[in-house]
Amino acid sequence: MTRIFVITAVLVAAALARAAGPAFWDSPQDIPFTDGELEGAGLDAGGSLVPGLAAETALADSSLVLWTAAAGRDGAIHVASGHEGRLWRLDRGGEASLLADLPAEEIFALLPDGEGVLAGCGPGGQLFAIAADGTVTPRGAVPGGYAWDLERAPDGDVYVAAGSPAAVYRLGATGDPELVVELPASNALDLASRDDATLLVATQGPGRVFQVRPAERRWALLLAMDQDEGRQVLRGPDGWYAFGYQAEPGAGHGGGSGNGNGGDGGNGGSPAAVEPLGFGVGPFDFMVTADADVQPVRAALYRLDPPTPARVWAGEDVLTCVAWSDDHGWLAAGARQTGGPTTLYALSEPNGRRPVATWDGGDVLDLLVVEAGSAPDEIVAAQAHPGRLTRLRAATGGDAVARGAPLDGRVPVRWGRLVWRGLAGDAEPRFAVRTGESPAPDESWTEWLELGRGRDLDLAEVGAARVLQWRATLPAGCRVDAVTVSAFAPNLRPAITHFAMEPAGEIFQGGMMQSSDNATQRFADGLQVEYSAQSRADRRLDRDRAATLRPLRTLTWHVGDPNEDRLEFRLSCRELGADAWIPVGEATNEQVQTWDTSRLADGWYEVKLAASDLPDNPAPLALSDERILPPVPVDNTAPVVEDWEVAPTSAGFAIRCKVTDAFGPLGGADVELPDGSFERLDPVDGICDSAREQFSATVAYPHARREAAPRPWSVRARFWDRQGNLAHAVSVLP
């Protein structure tokens, strides 16, 4: 079944290595040639740039889809469109004309027939004969709705691959096609006729290849693929091959092996339920699956001939069709990457592929190889989105052009030299460059500046710019193995964009990963929820223990560097009004640091952050940025408790005292009851909001429904300031 797939890719300009100063971009060592654009250029087996195939649009159809192309004996090429059911003809000179507009939505299959052509359609399964003058004659229809492929056997009979279900039909002179076999799959996608009067049939759902003997209405399973779609069966350099495609990697449908023996009714039986057929290539008691070292296997090419079928190529690319060319070898194409070009690849065992042509087109649905006499084979690609037919011929003259990926210095840089290494053919390649101030071409980019010939080219005329792109025009016979571009990037100052002291929060016992008896619930759709048995427990640290951590302040910052240099950060502090800065810890490359104020005298302090790009620059060229926080208080002195009195009462006990803090307002107070529980203690005026507070309160003890602790009673009060410094007062009641 023919489908259209689109994958997404983001093209990013090749960026400058870290740090200012000299920088180099090496292709293909660091930046693959394929990151750029190849127009008439390609890669040879060694990965070097060479003249490749130049693309030319032969037909642009208003339909979104051109499903397939077929070459006739007269050299004409017929092309089938989708969604509007049009049939086009390209004569030997490449002139396109609309041959017929068929009463069908889609034309999936074409078979040249003398000077005319046969067409298989969907979703009605219609078959038509179209004469050279455009006359259309209906030839019946196949059940199931889709005629996916047409094939002529050596004896002249025409067969139809159809679905669903998968089946093969014989097309007679009149009437509807006659069923030959029905196969255990959803759709029969492709047919090939062998010299031994058998057919090869590729199926979808699952991906299999069957050998069919039409005269006996029997079939045998020849190959069970990992892929769900057996898209093609075709001749290769040394026999027959099959190509499989999997829309979703890892979800293949490779089935069991066996043979079917259809009776007079024409339907194949269970693959494992009958005896081997014995014709063709043997007993067919095997299958081929993907090797574990090439996963996921999205596309694969299999050799079908004896002694056993074997996979010869596999890859993850969205490649949906292949073709064999005596001049170019195995070729493959498929979905166009979003934002990128359409690409034709040459395949090499076991999973290699290299681009031999790229062009601005759409998804490739079919490849046709056309022999061009003494010239290299021509490749014809039927495409979708947009519907277009592209002819690919060996590049000549100035048609072979390669453009490197844009080289991004991040900042305006002084460009140095362009040096290439390779082999000159008829002449050396000609290089040109253009520059701009954005990673992608826009109005800031200049026109191309020709650099002339030579292997070491000066870029002084280019001037300072953020981005540079090179272009190479390749004469016949030349080869570019490597291109190196140099530049000098000026150092730019880092910039502190955020610097703050984080406000203090509650301090909790334990780390972020709690060790507790959690419970997990699993739902039918696979969702799992973990419940913490301690999720409602109060894990706040006791105030006495928390007070030891209160002198620790956390500072955070964010710093950017235009050169993307590595940075080091240094914190320092000084008391307000002082001249000298005191280092806070060691230099760090982290953007968070703790400041321990426990050894500082009480007062107001400034904190400074210095950010330097010294790790990536020589000391004389290093630059830095600084920022100072507004003054912050440092208070490490606990409040003072005076006139402390505790006296028993009929309901509990009374507390009286005065508390003073030398630095600022108090923060609160509480009393620890004899049973170990705590109760808030409020001053006489109700609010702890001044540096001196008076306390006079009666505390009820014991509380209702709670037993009193045994005597003597220990009563302890805690008083703290806004910085968390604690003062204690204790009394024992007999």
- 652-701: pLDDT as tens digits: 999 999 999 998 899 999 999 888 889 999 999 999 999 999 999 999 99
CB neighbour list of residue 247: distance below 8 Å, 6 or more residues apart? 3, 5, 228, 229
Dist. CA 326–CA 320, nearest whole Å = 21
| 20-39+399-489, CATH topology level | Jelly Rolls (2.60.120)
Cβ pair 555, 501 in contact under 8 A: yes
SS (H, E, C) 290-336: CCCCCCCCCEEEEECCCCCCEEEEEECCCEEEEEEECCCEEEEEECC
Distances (CA, A) of 321 to 58, 333, 378: 20, 6, 16
Q: What is the pLDDT of residues 155-187, one digit of tens each?
A: 889 999 999 899 999 998 777 899 999 999 999
Contact 169, 162 (CB under 8 A): yes
Q: How many residues does the chain have?
A: 734
Residue 129, pLDDT above cutoff 70 = yes
For residue 633, is the peptide bond before it cis, meaning its omega torsion is within 30 degrees of 0? no
Edge-to-edge strand list for the sheet holding 363-372: 53-60, 388-394, 375-384, 363-372
- Residues in contact with 390: Cβ distance below 8 Å, sequence separation at least 6, in sequence order: 55, 56, 57, 58, 342, 359, 361, 380, 381, 383
What is the rounded CA–CA span in Å between residue 615 and residue 566?
6
Tokens 């505790």 label which residue?
646
Residue 284 has a pLDDT of 34
User: Which segment of 314-323, 494-503, 525-534 scores lowest on mean pLDDT?
Assistant: 525-534
Percent over 90 (pLDDT), the chain: 59
Task: Tell me: cis bond preceding 350? Omega within 30 of 0 counts.
Answer: yes
Q: What angle do CA 438, 440, 445 make, to 5 degrees?
A: 60
The pTM score is 0.66
Residue 46 is given by DSSP the state T
- For residue 539, what are its two tokens? 């894990």
545-586 residue pLDDT tens: 656 667 888 899 999 998 888 999 999 999 999 999 999 999
User: In angstroms, rounded to a whole number, what is the distance separating the alpha carbons of residues 7 and 693?
Assistant: 71
Band (269; pLDDT cuts 50, 70, 90): very low
Residue 473 burial (C-beta neighbours within 10 Å; 0-12, 13-18, 19+): buried
Q: Is 543 helix (H, G, I), strand (E, B) or coil?
A: helix
357-397, pLDDT tens digit by residue?
988 888 999 999 998 777 788 999 999 988 999 999 988 76
Considering the domain delimited by 495-506+542-634, tell me its CATH architecture: Sandwich (2.60)
SS3 label, residue 597: coil
Domain coordinates in residue numbering, the chain: 20-39+399-489, 61-141, 495-506+542-634, 640-733
Cα–Cα distances in Å, from 98 out to 105, 133, 545, 572? 16, 11, 88, 81
Q: What pLDDT is stored for residue 525 in this prediction?
A: 45
Q: Which CATH class for the 61-141 domain?
A: mainly beta
Kindly state the average pLDDT of the residues 723-729: 89
Paired tokens of 310: 């074997």
Measured CA to CA, the distance from residue 692 to residue 726 in angstroms comes to 15
Specify the pLDDT at position 520.
Answer: 56
DSSP readout, 225-266?
Answer: -SSSEEEEEEEETTEEEEEEE-SSTT--------EE---TT-
H-run or E-run covering 544: helix 543-546
Q: What single-letter DSSP state applies at residue 546? A: H
What confidence category does residue 320 fall into, taking pLDDT thresholds of 50, 70 and 90?
A: very high
Residue pointed to by tokens 């649009």: 57
Cis peptide leading into 712, omega within 30 of 0? yes
**Do 20-39+399-489 and 495-506+542-634 come out as alike in CATH topology?**
no
The pLDDT of residue 215: 92
Q: Is the pLDDT of residue 337 over 80?
A: no
Q: What is the CATH number of domain 640-733?
A: 2.60.40
Query: Is the previous residue joined to 683 through a cis bond, with omega within 30 degrees of 0?
Result: no
CA 684, CA 541: separation in Å to the nearest integer? 28
Which one-letter DSSP state was computed for residue 447?
P
How far is residue 246 CA from its own chain's centroid?
18
Q: What is the pLDDT of residue 548?
A: 64
Q: What is the pLDDT of residue 175?
A: 76
Q: Give the pLDDT of residue 63.
A: 77
- For the residues 275-300, what does the mean pLDDT come to? 45
